[in-house]
Structure 1
Amino acid sequence: MNIVPEPLSLASRLAQDYIHHFERVSGFYGEDHRSEHGYAERVKWLDLSEDKRVQRKVLVDCLRTYNQLHNDHPAVHTSLQLLEQPGTVTMVGGQQSGLFTGPLLVIYKAITVIQAAREAEERLNRPVVPVFWIAGEDHDWDEVNHTFFLRQDQQISKIKLDAKDGLRTSVSYTGVAEEDWNLMLSELQTKLSDSEYKADILKLARDACNGSRGLSEAFAKLINRLFGKYGLILLDSADPGLRALEVPVFESLITHNETLGLSYQLAARDIKGLGYDVQADVSENGANLFYLHEGRRLLLYREGNVFSDRKGMVTLTEQELLRDLHAHPERFSNNVLTRPIMQDCLLPVLGTILGPGEISYWAITRYAFADLGLQMPLIIPRMSFSIVDGTVHKLMEKYEISFEDVQNRLDKKRETWLASKDELNLEDRFSKTREQFEALYQPLIEDLGRMQSGLLKLGLTNKDKILEQMDYLLSKSRNALEQQHEAALAQWKRIEQTLLPEGKPQERVYNILEYMNRYGLNLVDSLMEIPYESSGIHRVVYV
């Protein structure tokens, strides 16, 4: 592999400034993860705040039960044993449980969590274990029920798993029947190109799907096969056993709800005041908690002492909500703004691994941490990659296309290249013909108009039709030119579909099984060998 740093355009200016100009946004975050001081201060605080978190033994017992079911590897049990010991801290990162693990960025986040934990362990000379937070409590089924592959004809194909009941419930509570898994596996067999690794890839996917009640379980099994050997602990945020441990935290989120809401609003105003976009919805009366009612996950809002959803399906006073919490903790879950706090109350989080969008919305939680006597953990950008095979790399060299060109000006570069192949100079000749025609025809039309007024309108209409036909002929000529260079343009398309499918970075679209099918089951192990980098810089991996 050849690894080359290449900037990748980020959607959020706040995330860009966090990565490149931390001093501009330091007020919205905790300690700087790039400094020794930042690590030392965070560890010092964790050592002094053990009583603010769920008891280690109780938490580890819960995690051990879950991991024995879905992530049963000796290295994982070693990590759990370490986590049970006072002084052990964690690196945490997470994502929704996507179909067949979802886009590549999920894999890159897991790699970053593991490597960041290793690096921190060496830096601090104390145990640091990696934890992957499966966001199984999320209810956005349409965000996780599909994944993409690149066909041999350079078209993007999609595998999608439809939910049967259509309820807006947590992904981990959404059941997937055996026949649906079989359908997904059949589609995967069709979508994957034939290769020497295909049979092994299909077995890997089949083993993960077999016996899995839903996406989160299949996701956990696949992550286990890829990362269990590295001691990566898995946590499903929708795990009923875990939810029971979270009751005291939910109590705080409910009893301090008004204060927390004001802090989120204040942070959002401050972020806007510095000219940044606010990356998550901060509603004036948002309770920032979800409540499960008759299979539906409802976002709660607060009016004084009363909590209800927008449609009024549930209405509970604070005391009623607290009583229900103790009786049915499984009904409660976090939204994007309270999840960081829950994470910090469960685990001794040294650092959290975040993508650009997450870095942006975590800024909204800065003041809320302080409201509950907490401190924001170190925020470490996840590593970012684009995988380029030798053929595509040679094509980029052939057409003198850089990675930056692909991101910012590929269409223009392609048009320029195609124009250079136009031996008839079509654009210029058609342009001159139009000019000459108009120069000759316009005076004639005007003279005809003076002879008879109705002829002017008829002449102008006639002129427009002739010009329209010229444009039509030019369009057909362009099509003919493209057909003449069809093979070369297909190569341009291959570059685009490899690096910027649907106008998005590769890591946000394609699935890891696509690349394991090309390069082998040990691809993830090879990616694990890429030197750890905490700067957030994107890198191109030439294989």
Structure 2
Amino acid sequence: MQMASFHWKKNQQLSEEYILGTEKALSLFPSHYGREADWQKRVQWLDGGHEPHADRKELTEVLRAYNTRVGNHDAALNHVQKLVDHETLAIVGGQQAGLFGGELLVLYKAVTILQLAREWSAKLDRTVVPIFWIAGEDHDFDEVNHIQLLSNTQQIEKIKVEHPTGQRTAVSRLPIASEVWEDALNKLDHSLMDTEFKAGLMERMRAVTAGDATLSDAFARWMALIFGEFGLVLIDADDPHLRKLEAAMFGRLIDENEAYAAALVHSQTEVSSAGYAIQAEIHPDGANLFTFAEGQRLLLHREGDLFTDKKSTVHFTKAELRDRAFTHPELMSNNVMSRPLMQEFLFPVLATVLGPGEIAYWALTKRAFEHFGLQMPIVAPRLEFTLIEGMIKKQMDKYNFSLADVLERFDEKKQAWLDEQDTLKLGEQFERVKASFVSSYGPLVESLQTINPGIKKLGDTNLAKIVEQIDYLQHKAAEATNTQFDAAIRQLERVRLTIFPLAKPQERVYNGCAYLNRYGHAWLHTLLETQIPVDGLHRVFYL
């Protein structure tokens, strides 16, 4: 396996400085993934049996039922059973339920979870279970209903499914009709090149989307097919059986809502005072909880003694909302601020695997963890990869393009290459001709002023038009020259579209199906089976 590492600076300053371990950023977190002593302290804290936490036996029953339902592998079910043991710990990370598995970064997050679970199982000589939390409760359907693929015509194609109802509710509650799935699958089939792996890939895709599956169910089945044999345990945040386990924590979040919100505001002030941008705005009257009503997922806030939503669709007293959490917990839901606390309540989390944006908003939860007698787990950055295929690497070498050239100065480098091919030095010749013309014709035009100002003005216009015509000819000559290198330009554009599409990291744009179609699962298994340190670096993986 050929792999190179480099530091890709994050757009989020807080995440960037946390990953690098700067003192200012670390003051906002209780620990750091780069300090082994902090991992050991976290183990000791978990072994202390701190409250509150969910009953492990009930948790394993919920996990077993869900993983069985989505067809997860025996290796994952064995991991579920080991969670009964109070010695067992967990590495947890999650993502929204994207169409056909979502972006490549989803695969990399699962790889990171598995890598860390394996590493710390060995270091601690005790079971550390990898758990992938599917955010099926999220309602932003447009964020997860599509994938993007690079076509053979060098276009970024989008495949999407339309919202089945238009209601603002959890994606896990929106079955997709079989004909809608079939249309999306046909588009995927058409977009993928014919390879030895294609038939098997499409067969698996049809299997995971069968039966009017929701995006969440299809996503879970897909993740089970890819990662189940490596023991990845799956759970949907919106699973009604899981909600019953969460009722007690929902009760505390409601009972202590004012103090909870104040703790979040406290952390927000600390983050802002440290000079960092706020990733998620905290409001003193925000409940930081959702409820389901009238087919919608509604974000709650406090108005006096009541909990209500923005449009005043529902109103609850604290007692009524608390009763709702215990009698109908499936009608409650977390937001980004309460989800970390709920994760901590449910699982013995040694570390949580997060992307850059997630790291930034987790900093806002530090005081909330403390308020509830909890401790924020180790925050570990997700592994990052850019996949570079053999043909792309050959083209980069052919035109002497480094990865930094592609990421930082592609247009300049491309133009410099084209300029090198200009053996006639047309640009220089045209500039000399224009300079010579202006230097000889200009004084003549100036002298016309003594005859008549109108003639001088006509001369200026004439001069400008002649220069404009020279520029026009220069442009046409450049176009004709570049036509000779159309193939090279197309090859270079494919390099850019492969590595840095839409001026974003590859992993944040493309879906994994195209790579699984071209190379099968071998490359992904290599990432899983090779020990790769979780160190915040970006890795280039040459396929």
TM-score range, shorter chain: over 0.9
Aligned match of 1:429: 429
Residue 75 of structure 2: aligned partner: 75
Question: Aligned pair count?
Answer: 543
Amino acid at match of 1:9: K
Query: Is the partner of 2:27 in helix, strand or coil?
Result: helix
Check 1:458–1:374 CA distance in 2 against 1; reply closer, same or farther (3 A cut): farther
Match of 2:3 in 1: 3
- After TM superposition, the score normalised by the length of structure 1 is 0.95
1:425-471 Cα deviation digits (max 9, x unpaired): 23333334444444455555555566555556655555555544444
Superimposed CA distance per residue, residues 123-171 of structure 1 (whole angstroms, 9 cap, x where no aligned partner): 1111110100001011111111111222223322221111122111111
Instruction: Say whether 1:358 aligns with 2:358.
Output: yes
C-alpha displacement of 1:267: 2.1
1:151 is matched by which residue type in structure 2? S
CA distance in 2, matches of 1:62, 1:460: 84
**1:131 counterpart = 2:131:** yes
Task: Provide the rounded CA distance (Å) in 2 between the counterparts of 1:121 and 1:428.
Answer: 66
Residue type at the aligned position of 2:135: A
Change (3 A) 1:48 1:142: same
TM alignment of 1:26-425, pairs within 5 A: 26-425=26-425
Distance (Å, rounded) in 2 between the aligned partners of 1:317 and 1:426: 78
Contact 1:226–1:524 (CA under 8 A) maintained in structure 2: no
Q: Per-residue CA shift, 1:210-233, capped at 9, x if unaligned?
A: 125211101111111111111111
TM-score calculated relative to the size of structure 2: 0.95
Runs of 4+ in structure 1 off by over 3 angstroms are: 429-475
Contact 2:50 2:374 in 1 (8 A): no
In structure 1, what is the Cα distance between the partners aligned to 2:59 and 2:39? Answer: 24
Q: Is the 8 A contact 1:212 1:218 kept in 2?
A: no
Query: What is the identity, as a one-letter code, of the residue corresponding to 1:169?
Result: T
Structure 1 stretch displaced more, 324-333 or 489-498: 324-333
Residues 220 and 445 (structure 1), Cα distance of their counterparts in 2 relative to 1, 3 Å cut: same
SS in 2 for 1:131: strand
**Whole-Å Cα distance in 2 between the matches of residues 225 and 195 of structure 1?**
20
Separation in structure 1 between the aligned mates of residue 459 and residue 244 of structure 2, nearest angstrom = 82
Q: 1:145 to 1:461 in 2, by over 3 A?
A: farther
Calculate the aligned-residue CA RMSD, in Å: 2.0
**Identical residues among aligned pairs (%):** 43
Task: State the 1:7 CA deviation.
Answer: 2.6
| Residues 55/419 of structure 1: CA separation in 2 closer, same or farther (3 Å cut) | same
Task: Tell me if structure 1 keeps the 8 A contact 2:72–2:221.
Answer: no
* Structure 1 residues 427 and 129: alpha-carbon distance in aligned structure 2, compared to 1, 3 A threshold: same
* 2:7 maps to amino acid: P
Conserved in 2, the CA contact under 8 Å of 1:6 and 1:403?
no
Question: 2:72–2:225: 8 Å Cα contact kept in structure 1?
Answer: no
Contact 2:51 2:373 survives alignment (8 Å): no
Residues 104-113 or 267-276, more deviating: 267-276
Alpha-carbon distance in 2 for matches of 1:522, 1:446: 74
Partners of 2:120 and 2:312 in 1: CA distance: 48
When residues 441 and 147 of structure 1 are mapped into structure 2, their CA distance, relative to the original with a 3 A threshold, is same
Cα deviation, residue 108, structure 1: 0.7
Cα deviation digits, residues 401-421 of structure 1 (max 9, x gap): 221221111111111111111
Q: Is the 8 A contact 2:138 2:171 kept in 1?
A: yes
In structure 2, list runs of 5 or more residues that go unmatched: none
Q: CA deviation at 1:272?
A: 2.5
Instruction: Between 161-170 and 114-123, report the one with greater CA deviation.
Output: 161-170
Aligned to 1:13: 13
Q: Return 421-430 or 403-412, whichever deviates more.
A: 421-430
Residue 264 of structure 1 and its aligned partner are, at CA, apart by 2.2
Q: How many Å apart are 1:349 and its aligned residue?
A: 0.5
